[in-house]
């Protein structure tokens, strides 16, 4: 029923004014209802907008996650490729070192007839012994062809016996390296040095400084990688320095 019809149905003046009051109350209630409906509608629209925004955010996060996963997979592929290349380089380097050491043996049998001294005076701890181990960089089981003696960068490394320098320079994963062919037939190798103190062809005496400790090449920290070679083949160095 319309508001006007309510007023027209008034039976008297007093009834008319009473109906006016009623109409006013109805209009007031209708306005309140409309206002509440508008507010509810706006709240629904706001929530709908929030849901849409969250949906967009989720899609963006999903896309970023896919990109991150793709990037991670690419990094993993590159890492495996690099690991393979480094292992290949290490194997080639081992063959090269073996060849250099074998060519420098001075007696036919390569027999070692004397022991030497410790290569890093004042630092006697061996952080990684000779033999198979989990490689600290490749994280695979590999042969450790020497021993590692940790010491601060710049610590002197000395020749364990007298002999002639057959290599002094950078050698792949060994970093800055010195190799000495000793008078008794063995060859020693000093790797990962920060500085080299001798040159190829130079005569060195037992205890003479040949290099300074460092962390060059494939290294996880300052130390001397020390090897002993007999007829080009690596052997446990410990019996020759203690």
Q: If you average pLDDT over every residue of the chain, what do you get?
A: 83
If one compares 53 and 216, the residue with the highest pLDDT of the two is 216
Cα dist. 206→102, 144, 147, 180 in Å?
A: 21, 25, 19, 11
Least confident of 47-61, 118-132, 175-189: 47-61
Q: Hey, what are 141's tokens?
A: 């089981």
* Average pLDDT, integer, range 107-129: 69
pLDDT tens digits for 169-218?
Answer: 999 889 999 999 998 889 999 999 999 999 999 999 999 999 999 999 98
Query: Is the pTM higher than 0.75?
Result: no
pLDDT for the residue numbered 106: 42
Q: List Cβ<8 Å contacts ≥24 apart for 58-67.
A: none
pLDDT for the residue numbered 120: 95
d(CA 50, CA 202): 78
pLDDT of 89 above 70: yes
d(CA 13, CA 28): 23
If one compares 221 and 134, the residue with the highest pLDDT of the two is 221
d(CA 35, CA 117): 97
pLDDT of 110 above 50: no
Q: Which of 31-40, 49-58, 150-159 has the highest mean pLDDT?
A: 150-159
pLDDT of 113 above 70: no
pLDDT for the residue numbered 164: 95
pLDDT for the residue numbered 179: 95
* Average pLDDT, integer, range 158-172: 94
pLDDT for the residue numbered 136: 65
d(CA 125, CA 238): 12
pLDDT of 1 above 70: no
pLDDT of 104 above 60: no
pLDDT for the residue numbered 102: 63
pLDDT for the residue numbered 206: 93
Give alpha helix (H) positions in the chain: 3-8, 13-103, 238-241
């Amino acid at each position: 029923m319309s508001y006007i019809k309510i007023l027209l149905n008034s039976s008297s003046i007093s009834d008319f004014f009473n109906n006016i009051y009623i109409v006013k109350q109805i209009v007031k209630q209708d306005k309140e209802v409309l206002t509440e409906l508008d507010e509810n509608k706006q709240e629904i629209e706001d929530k709908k907008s929030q849901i849409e925004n969250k949906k967009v955010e989720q899609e963006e996060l999903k896309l970023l996650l896919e990109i991150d996963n793709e990037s991670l997979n690419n990094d993993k592929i590159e890492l495996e490729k690099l690991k393979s290349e480094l292992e290949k380089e290490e194997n080639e380097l081992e063959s090269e070192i073996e060849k250099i050491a074998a060519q420098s043996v001075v007696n036919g049998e390569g027999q070692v007839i004397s022991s030497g001294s410790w290569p890093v005076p004042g630092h006697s701890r061996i952080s990684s012994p000779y033999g198979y181990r989990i490689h600290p960089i490749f994280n695979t089981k590999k042969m450790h062809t020497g021993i590692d003696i940790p010491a601060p960068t710049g610590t002197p490394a000395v020749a364990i016996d007298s002999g002639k320098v057959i290599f002094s320079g950078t050698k792949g994963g060994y970093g800055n390296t010195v190799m000495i062919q000793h008078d008794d037939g063995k060859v020693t190798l000093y790797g990962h040095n920060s500085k080299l103190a001798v040159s190829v062809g130079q005569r060195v005496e037992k205890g003479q400084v040949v290099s300074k400790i460092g962390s060059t090449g494939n290294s996880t920290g300052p130390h001397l990688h020390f090897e002993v070679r007999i007829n080009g083949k690596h052997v446990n160095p410990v019996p020759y320095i203690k």
